[in-house]
Amino acid sequence: MHLAELEGLLGKDRVYQDPDLVQSYSNDWTSRYKGFAPAIVFPQSTIEVSKVLSWCSMNRVAVVTQGGNTGMVGGSVPLNGELIISMKRMNNLSISNTNKNHIQAEAGATISEIQNLASSHNLVYGVDFGARDSATIGGTIATNAGGLNVLRYGTTRNQIVSVEAVTGAGRIVGNLNGLEKDNTGYHFPSLLCGSEGTLAIVTQAKLRLWPKPEERVTLLFGLNTVREALEITEACIKSNGNISACELFFQKGLDLIKEVYSLHPLWEDKHSTYLLCEFAGPGGITDELLDGEIGRVLQSQESVLVATNHNDSQRLWQYRELHTLAISSKGIPLKLDVTLPLQNLEYFLNKIERKCQEINPACSPYIFGHSADGNMHLNILYSEPTVKKMEEKVLEFVVSLEGSISAEHGIGRAKAPYLHLQRNEAEIELFREIKKAFDPKAILNPNVIISSDN
C-alpha cells in the first residue's frame, strides 16, 4: 500500500502511521475484537473523504470507517488489516438557517455535542444512550441506533431529514436540502441508515429536533415478577402520551452495580425485578399522571421512588445506565441484543437464564433492556469455551419466538454468520446487489453484515 500517495493527495497531517496510535484505534470498546491496520486517515471534509475512497477504490485498498468506536458488533475494527478512516475531525454543528428545528451535523459530532446545541435552543435530539459522549452521528446513522427514548422519538432513522455520503467508488451522493417532503425516488437517508458503513461513508446529515419537555418525572418500581413489570409498562404506554422510557432490569444486575460502584441498595433488595419509567412533556404532566391510571398504579405498589428534578432522576437512572460498564468490568461478555414480540417477552425472560446455563453451567447471564419495545440486552459473562454454541442457541430461541437477532446494535461482523436466521436467500442476494452498486470494488467494511460465508 503506497500511503505516500494518499499523503500526497490529502497532506501528511491527515494520515497517521504511528504504531501506538494506530493500535489504539484497532480494538473495539468491548475488547472482544482486536485488529491491526497500516494507518488511520482523518479526513476533514466531504471532498477529502471522496479523495480517500476514490484512491482506495482504484487501488483496491479495503477500509473500515470509525466514529466513536463504541459499536457492539465489531463493525469498526480492522480485523484484516484494513485502513481506518476516522471521522472524528469532521464534527462541525449548526442549527439550520432554513428550519430552526433542524440541526446540520458532520458525521464525527458526538451525540452529546448535538444534545448540548439543541438544548441551548430549547430543543432536544431524540436519540440518547450511555455512550453519548463518544458515539457519533455518523456511527449512529450507520447502525440506526435506538437507545432510551425510542418510545417517544423513534430510532435514529426517524431523526434524519437529509443525508450526504460518499460511496465506495468515491462519489458524493445525497443532499442537505432539509426538505421534510422529498419523494424523488429511492430515499438515501432510509437506505444508508442501518447500512453499517458497507455502502457509503456518511459525511453530514440534517437531523430533526423536538421541543424540549417542560416537565419530567421518573418512577422506579421495585417488583417481584416480570408480569407485573410488563403490566405497568402497558399502563404507562396507554397513560397520556408523554411516556419517554420504560427500562427493565433485575436484582442480579443491580447487585453487580452496587458492588462495582458502591451504590446504595434499593428497598434493602427485597425485589427481583425493577422497572424505570420516565414521562416528559408540557408543564403539569406530573399532576395529570397522578390523577389518572398511573396514579392508581402508584397507589397499588409498595415500592416506588419518584423523581421530579434532574439530580434525583439521574440518581435513579444510574441503576439502569451503569449495567453495561459494570458487566464489562468483570470480563468480556457475549453481547446479544434482541427483540421479542411483547406477547413472548415474559416467556423469553423466564426461560433464558436456564437455557444459557444448560449450555454452560459456569456462565452468568445479565439481562436488561427497553421493555416497551421488547428489546432486551443479554450480556453473558464466563461463557467460554461455549461462546459460539451459546450465541447460536440463544439466537435460534429468539427466532423461534418470532423475535429479531439484532434490535439496535446491528449485524456487524459478530452477527453476520447468523443473518440467514432472519433474512431469506433472496433478501441476502439483494443485499449483495445493492452493495455492489454502491461499492463496486467491495472496499467498505468487508465482512460486515454479509460475510464471505453467507
Ligand X SMILES: Cc1cc2nc3c(=O)[nH]c(=O)nc-3n(C[C@H](O)[C@H](O)[C@H](O)COP(=O)(O)OP(=O)(O)OC[C@H]3O[C@@H](n4cnc5c(N)ncnc54)[C@H](O)[C@@H]3O)c2cc1C
Tell me which residues touch ligand X (CB under 6 A). 29, 64-72, 75-76, 87, 107, 129-131, 134-136, 138-140, 142-143, 145-147, 196-197, 201-202, 324, 408-409, 412, 445, 448
CB-based closest residue to ligand X = 139
Give the separation between CA 238 and CA 99, rounded to whole angstroms: 32
CB of 150 to ligand X, least distance (A): 8
User: 143 or 339, CB closer to ligand X?
Assistant: 143
User: What one-letter code names the amino acid at 433?
Assistant: E
User: 139 or 289, CB closer to ligand X?
Assistant: 139
3, 17 Cβ separation under 8 angstroms? yes
CB of 98 to ligand X, least distance (A): 24
CB of 296 to ligand X, least distance (A): 31
User: 253 or 285, CB closer to ligand X?
Assistant: 253
268, with CB counted inside 10 A (0-12, 13-18, 19+), is exposed
User: 65 or 364, CB closer to ligand X?
Assistant: 65
32, 74 Cβ separation under 8 angstroms? yes
Could you tell me the three cell numbers for 306?
419518584
In a 3-state reduction of DSSP, which class is residue 321? helix
**240 φ/ψ angles, rounded to the nearest 5 degrees:** -140, 20
CB of 125 to ligand X, least distance (A): 13
User: 69 or 218, CB closer to ligand X?
Assistant: 69
Report in angstroms the alpha-carbon separations of 402 from 233, 338, 372, 421: 21, 11, 17, 11
Residue from 134, 141, 251 nearest 194 by CA: 141
Give the separation between CA 147 and CA 207, rounded to whole angstroms: 16
CB of 137 to ligand X, least distance (A): 8
CB of 207 to ligand X, least distance (A): 14
Report DSSP state, residue 27. Answer: B
**Sole residue written with cell 450507520:** 142
164, 172 Cβ separation under 8 angstroms? yes
User: 273 or 375, CB closer to ligand X?
Assistant: 375
Give the ranges where 360-449 is alpha helix by DSSP (H): 387-400, 425-438
User: 174 or 365, CB closer to ligand X?
Assistant: 174
In a 3-state reduction of DSSP, which class is residue 431? helix
CB of 354 to ligand X, least distance (A): 26
Helix (H) or strand (E) holding 116: helix 111-120
CB of 375 to ligand X, least distance (A): 9
User: 134 or 451, CB closer to ligand X?
Assistant: 134
**Sole residue written with cell 468491548:** 30
